[in-house]
Amino acid sequence: MPNVFGSPHKGSEPRHEQVVFCQDEASGLRAIIAIYSTALGPSLGGTRFYPYGSEEEALADVLNLSRGMAYKNALAGLDHGGGKAVILGDPSKDKTEALLRAYGRFVGSLGGRYYTACDVGTFSEDMDLVARECEFVTGRTVANGGAGDSSILTAYGVFQGMRAAAETVWGAPTLRGRRVGVEGVGKVGHRLVEHLREDGADVVVCDVSEAAVERVRALHPEIEVVADGDAMIRADLDVYAPCALGGSLNDDTVPALGARVVCGAANNQLAHPGVEKNLADRDVLYAPDYVVNSGGVIQVADEITGFDFERAKSRASGIYDTTRKIFELAADEGVPPAVAADRLAERRMSEIGRLRGIFV
């Protein structure tokens, strides 16, 4: 079992503020809520509903994801710390109103230290049910005063990060004429394809769901389809955009990678520490995932004080500038972009978190 209070990327030093195991036998709820940091404000992060093979696997995932949210929220300029929750189970079989409302009771019991939202396996309609039991919920449906589907600005933000990467590598902030492989065309991936085609990119896709692929092909019959993620990694691409589950970049896939740029929506794309150096050694520019995929959290954070789409989109446009800043810092300091991004995030958490010590 992993060290519950240790950062998954930083060794065994104590970092997570709080980890809560939640169980309601009557509804079948089994969940874990992890709060990595509240240095910048209440923690914010989605709820993942997934059929984990074990509680240990779920715990490892929520620890990694909550840490990622702290860094993501910091670089997005939000006054929120990092948190995440996972519900163990198959959402297609186990998700019920009673289970979601029981989960809402546990979120409410934290007294505002954690705000939840959608993630893999959960949707805005689910957040409406959670919100019937507690107020610390965002990402609700428009009909219930929420921002709706956060994948809209997630995809937009990834595209902005990709533009910054294109400018760094090829001298212009456009993907026109570039060959971009999108692995996973679900909630975020299919929207990213729209931005890429509008910009004039040639797009290659794959997904474990044939229905998801066919939905994209119905709109864009000109796109190319490859069999699976392994074929995508090895394809002749300019940009590889992982938009499915994390861990696709590892010791086996990085040497086979055909792309010059990696920029996608998936969380935790690097399988373990050190992969970022392997990418840099191969002259592959990696746009840190938690930077470029922060459009969704910008959207749901905006909802907490009253949602305005244009304001949220304007803030998500800043992902382009943040990504450029990270690439410039990485070049100046001679470190991979992932290291530069961590340093910027840690600096903001330290500087702003320090203000809590000023008596008012």
CB 89 within 8 A of CB 28: yes
CB 10 within 8 A of CB 25: no
Catalytic: 313?
no
Structure token pair of residue 247: 């861990």
How many CB atoms neighbour CB 360 within 10 A?
A: 4
CB 158 within 8 A of CB 265: yes
The residue type found at 100 is L
Backbone angles phi, psi at 210, to 5 degrees: -65, -35
The residue type found at 289 is D
Return the CA Rg of the chain: 19
Structure token pair of residue 227: 């069999």
DSSP code, position 157: H
Q: Give CA separation, 310 vs 81, 231, 356, in Å.
A: 24, 38, 31
Q: Can you say whether the dihedral through the CA atoms of 131, 134, 138, 142 is positive or negative?
A: positive
CB 18 within 8 A of CB 83: no
For 205, the enclosing helix (H) or strand (E) is: strand 202-206
**Any idea of the CA torsion for 331, 335, 338, 344, to the nearest 10 degrees?**
-80
The alpha carbon of residue 330 and the mean position of all alpha carbons in its chain are separated, in whole angstroms, by 21
**How far is it, in rounded angstroms, from Cα 44 to Cα 81?**
6
The alpha carbon of residue 235 and the mean position of all alpha carbons in its chain are separated, in whole angstroms, by 24
For 61, the enclosing helix (H) or strand (E) is: helix 55-75
CB 34 within 8 A of CB 255: no
Q: Which of 10, 72, 84, 93 is catalytic?
A: 84
Show which residues are catalytic: 84
